[in-house]
Amino acid sequence: MSAFAPLTTLADASQELARHRSTSVQLTQTALERIGSGEGPVAFTHVFTDSALAETRASDLLRAAGIVRSPMEGLPISIKDLFDVQGRVTHAGSRLLRDTVPAAQDAAIVARLRAAPPRTRPSSRACAPRARSSWAAPI
């Protein structure tokens, strides 16, 4: 995939997976390449590369065996730094929270989406207006 294929919607990416035209690993590698360039290093507070790739490999194996656990199966997603991720400090875009104790457990939504995707950085406390980013586009 690479060379930054045109952006697609989650629905289109899901159909590509269902039709075996793409793999979860390919989608995730493309997302990781995009994160590593342009505004990615500014927009993402942490990237869970190893676990994301491991989980997408497992997802591809399940899909090959005919097992699709949910409509989100195998899709790379991002968790905004407003939700607790076990072992990580949730900054909510504020430097005031940089010395906060890391989360003891995942937020409920994170636990449900546990694909270890990258987290995005909100503006301060996620309330202040911010210039629109190209990362707001669908993957």
Encode pLDDT of 63-98 as tens digits: 999 988 888 888 888 888 899 999 999 988 888 988
Residue-wise pLDDT for 34-74, tens only, equals 888 877 888 888 898 998 899 899 999 999 999 888 888 88
Residue 103 included in any domain: yes
Q: For residue 103, what pLDDT is reported?
A: 95
Residue 135 included in any domain: no
Which residue range(s) make up the domain with 22?
10-125
Q: For residue 1, what pLDDT is reported?
A: 45
Residue 36 included in any domain: yes
Residue 139 included in any domain: no
Share of the chain above pLDDT 90, in %: 33
Residue 138 included in any domain: no
Residue 2 included in any domain: no
Residue-wise pLDDT for 116-126, tens only, equals 434 445 555 55
Residue 21 included in any domain: yes
Give CA–CA dist 121/45, Å, rounded.
6
Sheet with 119-120: list strands edge to edge: 44-46, 119-120, 79-80
Please write down the long-range contacts of 122-125, taking CB distance under 8 Å and 24 or more positions apart. Answer: 122/80, 122/81, 122/82, 122/92, 122/93, 123/93, 124/93, 124/94, 125/92, 125/93, 125/94
Q: For residue 32, what pLDDT is reported?
A: 92
Give CA–CA dist 130/88, Å, rounded.
24
Residue 117 included in any domain: yes
Answer with the residue of higher pLDDT: 115 or 32.
Answer: 32
| Whether residue 14 has pLDDT greater than 80 | yes
Quote the number of domains for the chain: 1
